Amino acid sequence: MKYFLIALFLLLFISCNNQSEIHHHSHNDIRHSHTVIGESSQSYMGNYTLEDETYGTKTEVKIINSQRIMTTNSLPNHKTGDFPNQGNPNTISEQSKTYKFPLNPKYTGKATWAREPGVAINGVKFEPQTAEVVACDTGENYRVEALQDVIDLGLDFNHAHVQPTGAYHYHGVPTSVVKDLDEGEDLIHIGFAHDGFPMYYSKSDKYKPSYKALDGNREGEDCTYENPKQKLKIDVNGHHDGTYGSDFEYIDGYGDLDECNGITIDGKYMYLITNAFPYVSRCLMGEFVEQHGPQSQGNRPNGNPGGPPSYAELLEMMDDNKDGKISKKEVKGPLGQDFDKVDKNKDGFLTEDELKSPPRSNGQGRRPRRG
């Protein structure tokens, strides 16, 4: 009987350990109270639910007919920097988003600008460009990149910060997402572009973008950067070091990736998030419907490739007194110096019709050459 009880105890002990191992591999990470229910830890291409009790993440993806439908509160499932901070005055808050991605993407080969090119696996969006502009009295305007050292935009170690709406978003490689999804392979699937093609990150960094810094120096005198909190004098003179989006030009074949940071690998087209400009694609090569809300601090296009903001987006950004109009006092950035030219009826306000054909400002930077 004594030996029988010992054997029974050992059997139960081994059984408990085995159950513990099975529980671990079912994607429950006790350290982060993190739960993923899906087809496989290796793939987020099918149905899955991602929840994280620690960070409040709730993201569900379902394949319905010809669409991949993501419902999310857009809270990241990882640690972030402290918000608000000196460079970013906003606090992360829960959103309510539904994204629809075509299950069978249609590649067109035509680069179309996308302010928000895609969404990470966890429901946090990618928005690589910023709202920030340096304007010069001599007429030049330079759109500030998020990843630079001249102006503090409050980015954290995930190359992300927060919009006034509370939406946390990535401007570059989402470091914590990459770390969480790394299972040993070079290419890590980290998101979906709005045209349906997947977004990956290469740990080896072997796929190089085809953007090159311009030769020569920038021009501009008496330049300033201004936001609601501060006004700074900025010296733009110097070589094109990547502080501004217009520091780069696209050269077909210069690197491995196309104009939208895309590439075909093993017969499958995908976008890559890279450590070098443009970091995240600013355009898409497939058919898509732009899925966006109002643009705000940290989210204006820099024209590389360019696309004009809508009137509703400009109202959201500039209409301080919320009267549904943009006055000369409220206008920000390049529109400020062009206000009198755009205001064709000279009533002191900018209308939607007037903004449909604004005059071109100097210094916007070269548009990338189409490949």
pLDDT digits (tens, 9 = 90+) for 301-312: 333 333 456 677
Residue with the larger pLDDT of the pair 343 and 162:
162
Supply the pLDDT for residue 317.
66
pLDDT band at 339 (very low <50, low <70, confident <90, very high): confident
Is 150 within a domain? yes
Query: Distance between CA atoms of 331 and 348, rounded to whole angstroms?
Result: 11
Is 69 within a domain? yes
Supply the pLDDT for residue 353.
79
Supply the pLDDT for residue 359.
52
Task: State mean pLDDT over 66-91.
Answer: 97
Supply the pLDDT for residue 29.
38
Diameter of the chain by CA atoms?
101
Q: Residue 283 to residues 49, 288, 311, 346: CA-CA distances in angstroms?
A: 28, 11, 21, 36
246 DSSP 8-state letter: G
Supply the pLDDT for residue 228.
82
Is 362 within a domain? no
Is 202 within a domain? yes
Enumerate residues 6+ apart whose C-beta is below 8 A from 323.
Answer: none
User: Is it the case that residue 36 has pLDDT exceeding 70?
Assistant: no
User: Is it the case that residue 253 has pLDDT exceeding 90?
Assistant: yes
Query: Distance between CA atoms of 62 and 47, rounded to whole angstroms?
Result: 5
Q: What's CA 14's distance to the chain center, in Å? A: 47
Is 6 within a domain? no
Tell me phi and psi for residue 58, to 5 degrees: -140, 105
pLDDT band at 316 (very low <50, low <70, confident <90, very high): low
Q: Residue 209 to residues 52, 112, 155, 212, 340: CA-CA distances in angstroms?
A: 34, 17, 23, 9, 40
Residue with the larger pLDDT of the pair 371 and 204:
204
User: Is it the case that residue 169 has pLDDT exceeding 50?
Assistant: yes
Q: What's CA 338's distance to the chain center, in Å? A: 29
Q: How many domains does the chain have?
A: 1
Is 207 within a domain? yes
How does the average pLDDT of the chain come out, rounded? 82
User: Is it the case that residue 265 has pLDDT exceeding 50?
Assistant: yes
Supply the pLDDT for residue 318.
72
Is 21 within a domain? no
Is 61 within a domain? yes
State how beta strands 223-227 and 230-234 pair.
Answer: antiparallel
Burial of residue 322 (CB within 10 Å: 0-12, 13-18, 19+) is: exposed
Its domain, for residue 338, covers: 29-355
pLDDT band at 320 (very low <50, low <70, confident <90, very high): low
Q: Among 98-112, 234-248, 334-348, which stretch is predicted with the lowest mean pLDDT?
A: 334-348
pLDDT band at 3 (very low <50, low <70, confident <90, very high): low
